[in-house]
Chain A
Amino acid sequence: MSTESIVVEHVTKDFTMHYHRTLKQMAVATLRGLPLKEEFQAVNDVSFTVEQGESVGLMGLNGSGKSTLLKLINGVMRPDHGVIRTRGRIAGLIATGAGFHPQMTGRDNLFLNGAILGMSEPEINRKFDEIVDFAGIGKFLETPVSHYSSGMFARLGFSIAIHVDADIFLADEVLAVGDRPFKKKCVEKMQEIRQQGTTIFYVSHATASVRSMCDRVLVLESGHLNYDGNVDDGIRYLQYDDDDDEENGLEGLVDSELGADI
């Protein structure tokens, strides 16, 4: 039996870019006939449904609206039009920098982040050692996170998110910051929660990684959902403008095995 886990119906998100913030700038711009603001559609009429336990790869070039879509599903943003419905607890990390407070120590951020992700106090206490262990930040636990390296930052963030007993797990570029051994650990852990029937929403440029992780691929192009289907066709669909000699030859093959960016 499968049930719907994420339903996205005709979702649109507009951004308004305000070019001028002070009265003086606005006056000057008006005199010169420059626009004061501009609307910009990051996500445009996107609809899809994800079943519980499915793992979906979201692909697309930079700026195609992937992160915005992820934020909408996570509930950080609200769509301007359309409806999003999710079932169960959502965990995951959106965009690099895990939403930590720079002046707080790693420990405080761990508790705060856990609470924001919906964990209760006993639940965090129970998983505390495991989280710290996985993140491998050891003695830096009592240091403000502003002193962390970007890798440590990402490791702690990922570690908290993955230890939430979530029904839906969202993963974005956070993974791209860690070093190779940590990335491997993360991907293993993601395979593990995938095995447990958690819905996974995975944003990545790495074709080979998506191929091994996902059952289905969505491709966004400048806000439009242009492909929704099986993984191999999705990756082929994306590679349309990547036909360089080197990359189609032996090196290209190696490249894709390693899971390089598109």
Chain B
Amino acid sequence: MKAADKALQQDKLQAEIDERGRRENAAARARALAERKADSMPVVHGFDGPRLERHVDAEMIDPAPTGGIVEVFQQRYLLRLIVGRQLAQQYAASVLGLLWSYIQPGMRFLVYFFIFGVVLKTHQGTPNFALRLFTGMVFMHFFTETWTKATQSIWSNRALVLKMRMPREVFPLASMLTALYHTGPQIVILVVTAAIVGWHFSMTAIAAGVLGLLILLAFSTAMALLFSALNVLYKDFQNIVATIVQFMHFLVPMMYSYQVIHNLGEDHQAVYQLYMANPLAEAVLLMQRCFWLPSVHNPSAYSDMFPADLWERGLIMLVLCLGLLFLSQKFFSRVESKFPERL
């Protein structure tokens, strides 16, 4: 009797729980239903009549861009917009704006000139030391800015990279063009200064300038592509770049003369070769050959300010840099497909 009573009570309790559960369930379902109705899609019926036929002349192609940097230069309008955007972004909410691109290198120039020229007196025996230093600094600044900005470029544009189809090389390249935009006026200052100091025209000087510029551009582009991709995989690379950039100015012959390095090479051949293997050292030397040497009074007296094999080294370096550019592009295309899951 007692057991039956208990069972009855339990049944009643169970029924209550069931009832409450059902009610709660129904409420949840109703809520879900209401929600769905709120975001439902309106229905618009198609037009009557036959549908037009559209003839597309294009070939069947891979929808993903595969042209690399070549394709970027074919879409110049897009490239221009992205460069413009980077410039605008850099100077957003800053009073001095574009001036900042000159204040920093200007200050650095003064400090180097004071320390190396006045205090350490490395300029003794080097006429027009300031011009020589400035020549090196303009092009070094171009490289460091390209490298630093390009390394972060894909990461900082991930909103676009993830959702829109375009050759991703556009971002590191735009960083390089932005740096070039900043370097332009500095080159003008350089040319004007050289002209005032007494630069005179020679085909050798022009050839050195062109060769130096080509090395610099090829090397910058290669490093921009390589490190922008690496930085997506491991963000450590932007710190590595920042660290190297800090001392890179000291690794090219501009604050001291080439002779010092040459003399070092007499005893330590390996160190000399390592130093000269830096494409930037070669590019800076060629630029000095272009801007500085024709400005001094008696150029032939300063032939020991350049390596004897300047031209051979320059040409080999250009070929190597173009090879590096090719490999960087290959690497970029290879890891590009991993970007979406890494960003």
| Contact surface of A with B, Cβ cutoff 8 Å | 1-5, 7, 15-18, 52-53, 71-78, 80, 83-90, 94-95, 97-104, 108, 111-113, 115-117, 120-121, 167, 175-176, 180, 183-184, 187-188, 191-192, 194-198, 204, 206, 208-209, 211-213, 244, 246-247, 251, 255, 257-261
Contact = CB atoms under 8 A, between A and B. Distances in A.
Interface residues of B, number: 51
Contact of B54 (A102, A198, A209): A198
A246 B56 contact: no
Interface of chain A: mostly helix, strand, loop or mixed: mixed
A111 B159 CA distance: 16
B320 interface: no
Highest count of chain B CB atoms <10 Å: which of A72, A99, A121, A198: A99
Interface of chain B: mostly helix, strand, loop or mixed: loop
B41 interface: yes
A116 to B, nearest CB: 5
B236 to A, nearest CB: 9
Highest count of chain B CB atoms <10 Å: which of A85, A115, A192, A197: A115
B66 to A, nearest CB: 9
A86 B53 CA distance: 17
Contacts of A52: 53-56
B37 interface: yes
Nearest to B165: A75
A188 B222 CA distance: 48
A183 B165 CA distance: 25
Interface in B47-64: 47, 51-56, 58-64
Interface string B10-35: 00000000000000000001100100
A261 B29 contact: no
Contacts of A246: 29-30, 33
Contacts of B42: 180, 183-184, 187, 209, 259
B56 A167 contact: yes
Interface in B62-88: 62-65, 75, 77-78, 81-82, 85, 88
Contacts of B81: 108, 111-112, 115
